[in-house]
Structure 1
Amino acid sequence: MNPTTIPARGGRPPGQLSRRVLNRTLLARQFLLGRTTLPALDVLTHLVAMQAQEPNWPYVGLWTRVAGFRHDELESLLRDRHVVRSTALRSTQHLVGAEDFRWLRPLVQPVLDRTARAPYFARETAGLEPAELDALGRELLAGRTLSRQQLGARLVERWPGRDGRRLAAAVELRQPMTHQPATGSWGRWGNPTAISVTLAEDWLRRPMHAAPPMETLVHRYLAAFGPATVADLQAWSGLTRLREVVDGLRAGLRVLRDEHDRELFDLPDAPLADPDTPAPVRFLPAFDNVLLGHADRTRVISDEHRALVMPGGAMVRPTFLVDGRVRGVWRVAGPALRLSPFGPLARSDRDAVLAEAGRLHPFVAPPGSAPDIAFDRDDD
């Protein structure tokens, strides 16, 4: 659809998209308007990457998108080396398809290099040549897997008196590594404390791409998150100064506008959703793509509620959507699910939230647990 053919609504100029169109389009591209029957690997590939700071959350993210998804599907993908867990977007842990990791990691490497120069690492790496540190790290890992603790201890043998954990972490940021499959297996709601790493080329049995085109990153992002601004792309990837990159691709992209007359980019043939499409209740995991894919997140969450979901900026709490927008948070409490709406819900919405929570409970609760689902407060 050419931007000049997008129908105007409520006096809006052709080519200018309402927030509701952006909402429904994002939900459609994220498989949140209706669960897909695509294999989990295809869904993960479409999404480019899923944040996996805590191992269990990507499983919930796939459950809410893929019909009939089971825990062992993702565990098998990790064991069979079709999916890897590693540091990627925004210097955080993600699950990425093995083939995608080979081009994605080199493209976001500048972000990781910047993180490795942060004050947290500066004291321990002061006076060291990064190339020498990286070379020893690669030598120690060549053909083998080491725990982060083991890698740090061996680095300290060469540079006594320094913090081995931070030396190992600096090497892991600058050199592509993958975590062992057990690190991403189902069963942990918190950060794993014991992580073993392998050089990515050794684990994948293929080299990383030497010079992947930035066009790949832009097109893949827009397929899953567009239409979007340059600022949105930068917020998702962690990269900066992408205006020139996107401008260089402009002739092959669709150019649109949002309600605030900001320039949006999209793939030329990517469909835009009907704003009247019903959006079912969906439960999202912590750190879900939908809440981290844009600089302006008002297409799915208000600024007021964003502060409740992302306290302090480091955490993104698990949420649930009602009519396509974040209306509350939830948590697993042993065998129970606890739901915390941000305000009163209509009776029909409340019933729909409870029904979807009932479907989620057997997936996240310990096996054999009796249904235990409740709102934290009475919202009638």
Structure 2
Amino acid sequence: LAPVLAAAARRFDGYDAAAVVAAAERMLAERPHTFNELRPRLLEEFPGANDRALGYAVRMLTPLAVVPTGDRWSFPRDPAFAPPGIGLDPDPRPQALVERYLAAYGPATPADVQSWSGLGGLRPVMEAMELDRLAGPGGKELFDLPGAPRPGGDVPAPVRFLPDFDTLVLGHADRTRLLADAHKGLVTTKNLRVRAVVLVDGFAAGTWQIKRSGKKAKLLLSPFEAKLSRDAVAEEGLRMLAFAEPDAATHDLEVTA
């Protein structure tokens, strides 16, 4: 994905991105830094540069790992970063990335993989790979890993609660595979937030959020259609809520209008 990230970093000018990355790597090799600690040091080395441009270059072009903490879910408000101990492949090949995608989301079109990864020109790559080819809706050609399980449409899919910005929602050029066109505006907001959704039989049936008040945890479900009952999602919803809020004294689920 380095070409995609490099293209994103080029939105800023007036600085030497390679020099910024080298400086950041040198500083991070000393000890973990938060971005609030790293920013003034970079500004000392690159006076007059846009501080946002410096931060963007570090985030986009430097391999980073969040240092684990005791914070909830290990996400502190101001995380420290360190080198992950891995280097970039000098000769990256997209085939492995395609295989990983198809293992999770196949069958899929090249447009789906490109939408997910940001990479272009993947059709000839996928056509040259040893992949199963299938006829999809509307005559579209779909690709999948050889011998991958492909249950029929009559096989029931379990209820699943997906988090905000989940890749399953974002990982297709044609999102109607799980999200009806009529409901897109209820999931993706104008400020580009992608809400958490619940899947019923493999399709997005509503959005959800957790509300915590003291020791009480409640799962609020906003269905897209009135026919979705509480009973249809209660078992999986309460199981997920207990996982997300293990220290709550009570767990409840409420279906909102």
Q: Is this a same-fold pair by TM over 0.5?
A: yes
The answer as to 2:4 corresponding to 1:111 is yes
Residue of 185, 188, 213 corresponding to 1:307: 185
- Count of equivalent residues: 253
Q: Alpha-carbon deviations, 1:60-87, whole Å to 9, x = none?
A: xxxxxxxxxxxxxxxxxxxxxxxxxxxx
Alpha-carbon spacing, 1:280–1:248, altered in 2? closer, same or farther (3 Å): closer
Conserved? CA contact 2:21–2:61, under 8 Å:
yes
**Structure 2 partner of 1:368:** 248
Counterpart of 1:330 in 2: which secondary structure?
Answer: strand
Q: Which residue of 2 aligns with 1:351?
A: 231
**1:209 — aligned with what?**
89
Alpha-carbon distance in 2 for matches of 1:371, 1:147: 36
The equivalences for 1:240-279 within 5 A come to: 240-249=120-129, 252-279=130-157
Report the CA distance shift for 1:183/1:173 in structure 2 as closer, same or farther (over 3 A): farther
- 194, 197, 201: which one pairs with 1:316? 194
Partner AA of 2:116 in structure 1: W
Give runs of aligned pairs for residues 1-380 of structure 1, distance below 5 A. Answer: 108-118=1-11, 122=12, 125-126=13-14, 128-182=15-69, 185-186=72-73, 193-201=77-85, 206-249=86-129, 252-312=130-190, 314-334=192-212, 335-345=217-227, 349-365=229-245, 367-377=247-257
Aligned to 1:71: none
Range with greater deviation from structure 2 (356-365 or 230-239): 356-365
Are the counterparts in 2 of residues 231 and 295 from structure 1 also a CA contact under 8 Å? yes
Deviation of 1:313 after TM superposition, in Å, equals: 6.3
Alignment partners' CA distance in 1, 2:48 and 2:156: 60
Instruction: Name the TM-score, length of structure 1 as normaliser.
Output: 0.62
Q: Deviation of residue 312 (structure 1)?
A: 2.1
Deviation at 1:318, TM superposition (A): 0.9
**Which sections of structure 1, spanning at least 5 residues, go unmatched?**
1-107
Q: What is the distance in 1 between the residues matched to 2:70 and 2:140?
A: 41
Cα deviations across residues 172-202 of structure 1 (Å, max 9, x unaligned)? 31121112123985176xxx6412111222x
SS of 2:232's equivalent in the other structure is: helix
Query: In 2, distance between residues paired with 1:305 and 1:316?
Result: 12
> 1:371 is paired with a residue of what secondary structure?
strand
Give the letter for the 2:87 counterpart.
P
Amino acid at match of 2:4: V
Amino acid in the other structure paired with 1:110? P
Note the alpha carbon deviations across 1:127-184, whole angstroms, 9 max, x for none. Answer: x222222222222222421111111110111222444344133123112111212398
1:97 corresponds to: none
User: What is the identity, as a one-letter code, of the residue corresponding to 1:176?
Assistant: P
Structure 1 residues 170 and 185, CA, compared in 2 at 3 Å: closer, same or farther? farther
Q: 2:241 and 2:181 mapped to 1: Cα distance?
A: 29
The structure with the largest helix share of the pair is 1
Aligned 8 A contact 1:327 1:341 in 2:
yes
Partner-residue secondary structure (3-state), 1:200: coil
| Mapped partners of 1:261, 1:374: distance in 2 | 41
Q: Is the 8 A contact 1:285 1:318 kept in 2?
A: yes
Structure 1's 211 and 255: CA in aligned 2 closer, same or farther, altered over 3 A?
same
Aligned CA RMSD, in angstroms, stands at 2.1
TM-superposed CA distance for 1:248, in Å, is: 2.5
Code of the aligned partner of 1:344: A
Q: Specify the alignment match of 1:90 in structure 2.
A: none
Residues 199, 205 of structure 2: 8 Å contact kept: yes
Compute the TM-score of the two structures, normalised by the length of structure 2: 0.89
Q: Which amino acid aligns with 2:220?
A: R
Give the direction of change, closer, same or farther, for the CA distance of 1:193–1:165 in structure 2 (3 Å limit): farther
CA contact (8 A) 2:230 2:255 kept: no
Structure 2: gaps spanning 5 or more residues? none
Q: Secondary structure at the match of 2:113?
A: helix
Q: Give the Cα separation in 2 of the matches to 1:372 and 1:223.
A: 35
Q: What do the CA deviations read for 1:20-63 (whole angstroms, capped 9, x no partner)?
A: xxxxxxxxxxxxxxxxxxxxxxxxxxxxxxxxxxxxxxxxxxxx
Larger RCO (CA within 8 A; separation ≥ 6)? 1
